[in-house]
Structure 1
Amino acid sequence: MKKLLVLGVGNILMMDEGAGVHAIYEFWKEKESFNETLVDFIDGGTFTQDIFYLFEEYEQVLVLDIVRAGHKPGTIYSLDEDDLVKNEKQMLSLHDVDLLDSLGMAEMRGHRPTLKVVGIEPAKIDWGTEMTPVLVKAFPAFMEVARKHIEKLLN
């Protein structure tokens, strides 16, 4: 069992909606910096419950995704599973709902990893393959927060 799965979630054809997947593409470029016996970086796309079986192979899952919480676009969030479940003001995306269901399915099969989410508030979700200028500007900070979580989770 590996220690960590970093799962980028989103649709890269819908502007800011693809931020989590864009982050995975960046991590693939720097994969030599990480111990591949401990961590995997996977493009989860629009994430369906069909890939819940992946969770069985990891102690922890770090999801990179957009989070719509009504703050300024580019705001970065670090959330635990309890934040997704208990925060009534949090607007869960379909990815989050599928993610929570997948964790439950993995638990029924015998192993439930711990969950963290690094999210970023989108500016616009519409057809287009490029993130908005606001998210492009905030993206390096998003990556840095994700890197810090990866380092912490691997220690």
Structure 2
Amino acid sequence: MVQDDRILVLGIGNILWADEGFGVRAVERLAEEWSFPPNVTLMDGGTQGLYLLPHLEEADVLIVVDAIDYGLAPGSRREIRDDDVPAFLGAKKMSLHQTGFQEVLASAMLLDRCPARLILFGVQPENLKDYGGGLTATVAAQVAPTLADIRRVLRDEFGVEGEPRTAEATLSTAAITRHAYESGRPSAQDACRVGDARVLAVHLAG
């Protein structure tokens, strides 16, 4: 355990596709509720792909939070370590962001600049097809226990204690924080969520 290890806690995923945004939303909430010493960086990695490479190169420890298709019941959580992390990210790709992040890890390894420790906290998604939707209740319920697991690892394995925040903080701009994004969604009547009615009419007629 080295207390001055440079630790990157990275949430990845696409918040536009419901449970795909789990990693981003989890790290966003961690930043809102807890502050950490300067050697810990919390980051919304979104779907940035290779743009994340410089941040990985600077880290000794990488903790990734993501929605992962483990083939388990929705909401199931798993903690994956070190050499197993790239394999799990690529086993059942759910979207292009996972392919992109695999390339980031592969590039860091090729350059011999990959963090020495890799830890993945993943949750099994329930819905990935609701464009513009927020986290399902099943997956949202796993945010708090995932944060508790991250804090446990930081404390027990790296000697890093977080402090509850007393001032407001966020990783995202106000318009796309989880509360603003989900509460501002138009109703189904105002924004059709089943596709173009003209296309559907042709399809149903055929």
TM-score if structure 2 supplies the norm length?
Answer: 0.65
Count of residue pairs the alignment pairs up: 152
What pairs up with 1:57-96 in 2 under 5 angstroms?
57-86=58-87, 90-93=91-94, 94-96=96-98
Whole-angstrom distance in 1 between the partners of 2:46 and 2:33? 20
Q: Percent identity?
A: 28
* Closer, same or farther: CA 99–152 of 1 in aligned 2, 3 Å: farther
2:20: which partner in 1? 17
Matched, 1:141 2:142: no
Q: Which amino acid counterpart does residue 51 of structure 2 have in structure 1? A: D
* Closer, same or farther: CA 82–110 of 1 in aligned 2, 3 Å: closer
Deviating beyond 4 angstroms after TM superposition, the runs of 4 or more aligned structure 1 residues are none
Matched, 1:105 2:94: no
Matched, 1:46 2:50: no
Q: Which amino acid counterpart does residue 47 of structure 1 have in structure 2? A: Q
* Closer, same or farther: CA 148–41 of 1 in aligned 2, 3 Å: same
Q: Is the 8 A contact 1:4 1:153 kept in 2?
A: no
Which of the pair has the greater relative contact order for Cα pairs under 8 Å at 6+ separation? Answer: 1
Q: Is the 8 A contact 1:9 1:18 kept in 2?
A: yes
* 1:153 Cα deviation after fit: 4.3
Whole-angstrom distance in 2 between the partners of 1:153 and 1:96? 27
Q: Which has the larger radius of gyration?
A: 2
User: Structure 1 regions of 5+ residues with no counterpart?
Assistant: none
The farther-off stretch of 54-63 and 121-130 is: 121-130
User: Structure 2 regions of 5+ residues with no counterpart?
Assistant: 160-206
